[in-house]
Structure 1
Amino acid sequence: MKIGPLWLKVQIACGDALAMGPGKADLLEAIIAEGSISGAGRALGMSYRRAWVLVDEMNRCFDPPLVETLKGGGRERGAKVTATGAAVLQAYRTMERDAAAALDGAAYALLRANLRSEPAGQG
């Protein structure tokens, strides 16, 4: 959430991996809407490979996995966000809203008042 010179980005780490962040949350929402990883990737302007790598990283970070792929033909193929995936997505979006509330606080006002618009030149 970018507002003026300061913005907040909620990221959830799993060891050295990024388990969840704004892009992965958007990807989960796109999988829900599109019913497939490839369709979600297209909707977000990313390659299938990139979308698959992000899904794989999320699935390795959460137990049970957030996305399951459906093998087979016809309407039964594609991918779906699991119940855990939907719950994690909802919790993440709640954390984003909670973090956004900090933008109304005194700490944000102090940081914004003292933050340069660009880094100062080297001395």
Structure 2
Amino acid sequence: MGPGKITLLHAIQETGSISAAARSMNMSYRRAWMLVATMNRCFQEPIVEAAPGGLGGGGAKLTDFGLTVLKKYEAMETIAINAVDQHLKRFSKLLAEQPPDKT
């Protein structure tokens, strides 16, 4: 699980569709579907619930479990960012203001 899959989950949540989520990320539907299938297999319960498309539409949504996973990931991400924030600030002070030319 990483930022790309989390972005895909947010896009599915916003659009209600794996296809629309994929388009919004400039990703193929096949790739998005494969990522969703992988996430659904890797967790104790499905993350995304999808209804087949066709004449009536179809669609996709995050399951309650999927919403829980999303919230827990984002909480961990916040903790990780806060843990390294001061180190990154000190490190960035070591960088040149303007990188030298490649010549």
TM-score higher than 0.5: yes
TM-score range, shorter chain: 0.7 to 0.9
Q: Alignment length, in residue pairs?
A: 94
TM-score by length of 2: 0.79
| Corresponding position: 1:23 with 2:4 | yes
Provide Cα deviations, 1:13-38, integer angstroms capped at 9, x if missing partner.
Answer: xxxxxxx1111011000001111111
TM normalised by structure 1 equals 0.67
**Which is bigger in relative contact order (C-alpha 8 A, separation at least 6)?**
1
Question: RMSD in angstroms over aligned alpha carbons?
Answer: 2.3
Deviation string 1:65-101 (CA, Å, 9 cap, x unpaired) is: 10011136425x1111100000100110111111000
Structure 2, unmatched stretches of 5+, are: 97-103
Structure 1 runs of 4+ with >2 Å offset:
71-75
Match of 2:34 in 1: 53
| Residue identity matched to 1:63 | Q
Listed as ranges, the matches of 1:1-123 within 5 Å are 20-71=1-52, 73-74=55-56, 77-105=58-86, 108=87, 112=91
Once residues 64 and 6 of structure 2 are traced to their aligned partners in structure 1, the CA distance between those partners, rounded to angstroms, is: 14
User: Percent same amino acid among aligned pairs?
Assistant: 52
